[in-house]
Amino acid sequence: MDRANKIIKNSDYQKYLDELQKIEKNRKFCRHNLSHFLDVARIALIINLKTNAQINAEHIYAAALLHDIGRAKADVYEPSHAAVSAKLSEKILRDCCFFESEINYILDAIINHGDENFNNVKNLSGILYMADKLSRPCYMCDMKEPCFWSLDNKNLELKI
């Protein structure tokens, strides 16, 4: 997990986390912060183990830590934050010693993490998609009613 730890310590990553914190300071809905990123990583690891997908844990952590970082630069409600996240992540992944093939694999998962067509838990894109959705505790959220997520997408009970 050396490279995943490098991501967390990376100066660009830290800058984007700070920007996200400022942008979402008054956000009433789910926030995109290190806690969310780590929740996604841990849920993704559980899915990986349960499905025997055999995806490298460091790839899971890298994708989870970086998947929403583009919200620091994109409009918070803009779906294309995934593309912005991938663009910002590329340099961070290089700085943290990931190989080109790994970078492309991780960026692909980041780009597709919001696309329900990638809801296949046998690959990194699908696991990231699923973990991101499952990470939200809608069942105990004060903003459950005004939330813009459809009722079908809300997590109204604990599940994995």
Comparing C-alpha atoms, which of 27, 30, 108 is closest to residue 66?
108
Q: What is the average per-residue pLDDT within 111-115?
A: 80
Question: d(Cα 130, Cα 120) in Å, to the nearest integer?
Answer: 8
Statement: the pTM of the whole predicted model exceeds 0.95? no
State the distance between the two ends of the chain, measured CA to CA, in whole angstroms. 24
Per-residue pLDDT of 13-48, as tens digits, reads 999 999 999 988 887 777 788 999 999 999 999 999
Let me know: does 147 contact 153? Beta carbons within 8 Å.
no
The Cβ-side half-sphere exposure at 69, using a 13 Å CA radius, reads 29
